[in-house]
Amino acid sequence: MTTYTCPEALEISTAADGVPVLLTYKAGSTVTPKTEAEAQILADLCAAGVVSVASSKTPKTKAAAEETE
Amino acid sequence: MPLQAALAQVGVAKQTAKGTAIANPEYAFGITDGSILTVDVQQEREARTSAYLASTGVNRTGVVAGFDFSCRAHAGSIGLLSFLTLGTDTFATSTHTLTAGTSVNYATIFGKQGSTVYALQDAKVDSLEFSWDGNAPLGVKASGMGTTVNYSTATFTPGTDDTYAVYMRPAGGTFSVDVDGASGTAAVSTITSGTVTLSRNLQEIMVSGTITPADVFEGALDVDVSFDVVIDDWNLWRTIVTGTSAGTTAAAAPTYGTFSCQFTDGTNTLTLAGSRVAFTADVPSADPAGGPLTLSLAGLSVMPLAGGTPFTATLVGGKGSAY
């Protein structure tokens, strides 16, 4: 799961099944996307330089998890 | 006395839900071509034998209303049209970053001709095309469909009237196309004209019992671009075909590149950009009359490798909050 840092206040307008959705993030906040659509929006904003990655964790495979244990 | 063709305006407003038309446009503007409303009355002759050599009647199967007009790119209204096409707008300070979403919003589209106003509800944008030639103003062509039309009581009091506002132009902007991205062949800025088309592959849903669409539903977003580029050498064309500017055999896979085109209107700017574009180009035609050789690039803009938006429009200016 990737979390993002918002350097400035953001207001995001989008739609889910044709219904308007408004997301707001405060300046300096760290955002963990709650839905796949939100994760996609934040990834696009990261590519555009609007937000930056705060942390990124790749889910471990079962084998890797067992190895760690 | 005939109706006057030049007294026409179009308006747009985002709906809060399907089935809830907005009373007045959020933005209004004049058009350069097209009509204030389209209504496709679908009917055909009945094919049935009789004692006469003629059709016995006509079957009406649908009445599909929509819009299809050309206009200028005013900062406020082009932001809303782009948002309705793409699906997501991120607003920070004075900048809108418009990207592809997983759904798009419904809108009410208003058409005013003289004192007559029609309003189309539950509309979605099917196609939004940006085109320019040299430094002539950026042209926008928008089309789409909706469900039902208010033919009698629609009103037209726009929140923001862009009819007399300035509009985006190429002059003062920046233009760049790179056929292989960060690889060897350099980006070029000698673009003389171009087109960027966003297509939502909209479909109307017709249900038995109702003559107008029950809904209009978007499909995948296709982004097609074309640029005319004056060339000094064959590097662009050779890179597209072989993968590198010094390549000697046709490449089995496309090379992906980028484009970025920025238009301006005073302090407002609109930048259209794609980060993974597969280009093609025909060999430019020779011309006995002479002149600079121009390569016509055609590109398909797709998602980045890791997924994401195939296209980004960045608007500085326009609405002071997210659309």
Contacts of B87 in chain A (CB under 8 A): 14-15
Nearest chain A residue (CA) to B80: A13
Q: What residues of B are in contact with residue A43 (Cβ under 8 Å)?
A: 306-308
Would the pLDDT of A36 be above 90?
A: no
Calculate mean pLDDT across residues A23-48. Answer: 91
- pLDDT at residue A67, as a whole number: 56
pLDDT band at B186 (very low <50, low <70, confident <90, very high): confident
Beta strand pairing call for A52-56 and A2-5: antiparallel
Instruction: Report d(CA B299, CA B256) in Å as an integer.
Output: 9
CA-based nearest residue in chain B for residue A44: B308
Compute the average pLDDT of residues A1-23. 93
User: Mean pLDDT, to the nearest integer, of B90-100?
Assistant: 95
Number of cross-chain residue pairs from A and B with Cβ atoms under 8 Å apart? 84
Q: In which band, very low, low, confident or very high, does the pLDDT at B185 lie, cut at 50, 70 and 90? A: confident
Strand segments (E) across chain B = 8-14, 27-29, 33-45, 58-72, 87-92, 95-100, 107-113, 116-133, 139-145, 149-150, 160-161, 175-178, 191-199, 203-205, 215-217, 222-230, 256-265, 268-281, 294-301, 312-316
Model confidence over B24-50: pLDDT tens digits? 999 999 999 999 999 999 999 999 999
pLDDT > 80? residue A64: no
| CA proximity to B284, closest of B225, B223, B224, B240 | B240
A25–chain B nearest CA distance, Å: 10
- Do A12 and B16 count as a contact with CB atoms less than 8 A apart? no
Name the percent of chain B lying above pLDDT 90.
96
Looking at residue B4, the DSSP 8-state letter turns out to be: P
Q: Is pLDDT of A60 > 60?
A: no
Chain B residues with CB under 8 Å of A50 CB are: 90, 92, 97
Closest among B204, B184, B211, B69 to B129, alpha carbons compared: B69
Burial of B50-77, coded b for 16+ CB within 10 Å and e otherwise, reads: eeeeeeeeeeeeebbbbbbbebbbbbbb
Residue B219, both tokens: 């499909």
Tell me if chain B has a CB within 8 Å of the CB of A14: yes
Among B17, B89, B306, beta carbon nearest to A13? B89
| Contact at CB, B88 and A41, closer than 8 angstroms | yes
Whether residue B87 contacts residue A16, with contact meaning beta carbons closer than 8 Å, is answered with: no
* Mean pLDDT along residues B160-185: 94
Q: Is A54 on the interface with B (CB under 8 A)?
A: no
pLDDT of B217-264, one tens digit each?
999 999 999 999 999 999 999 999 999 999 999 999 999 999 999 999
Q: Is the dihedral of CA B162, B163, B165, B166 positive or negative?
A: positive
Give the pLDDT of residue A56: 80
| Mean pLDDT, residues B61-84 | 98
For residues A27-41, give the mean pLDDT.
Answer: 91
> Taking CB atoms and an 8 Å limit, are B83 and A13 in contact across chains?
yes
- A42 interfacial to chain B (CB closer than 8 Å): no
Answer yes or no: do B309 and A44 touch at CB < 8 A.
Answer: yes
Most confident of A33-42, A46-55, B94-103: B94-103
Q: What is the DSSP string of A10-23?
A: EEEEEEETTEEEEE
Q: What single-letter DSSP state applies at residue B171? A: T
The closest CB to that of A9, out of B92, B307, B309, belongs to B92
pLDDT bin (cut points 50, 70, 90) of residue B64 is: very high
Q: How does the average pLDDT of chain B come out, rounded?
A: 96
d(CA B244, CA B315): 34
Which of A11, A15, A44 lies at the smallest CB-CB distance from B99?
A44
Per-residue HEC secondary structure of B248-290 comes to CCCCCCCCEEEEEEEEEECCEEEEEEEEEEEEEECCCCCCCCC
Using the Cβ of A49 and the Cβ atoms of chain B, whether some distance falls under 8 Å is answered with: no
Cβ within 8 Å, pair B102-A43: no
pLDDT of residue B184: 82
Burial class (CB in 10 A: 0-12, 13-18, 19+), B174: middle
Range B276-284 average pLDDT: 96
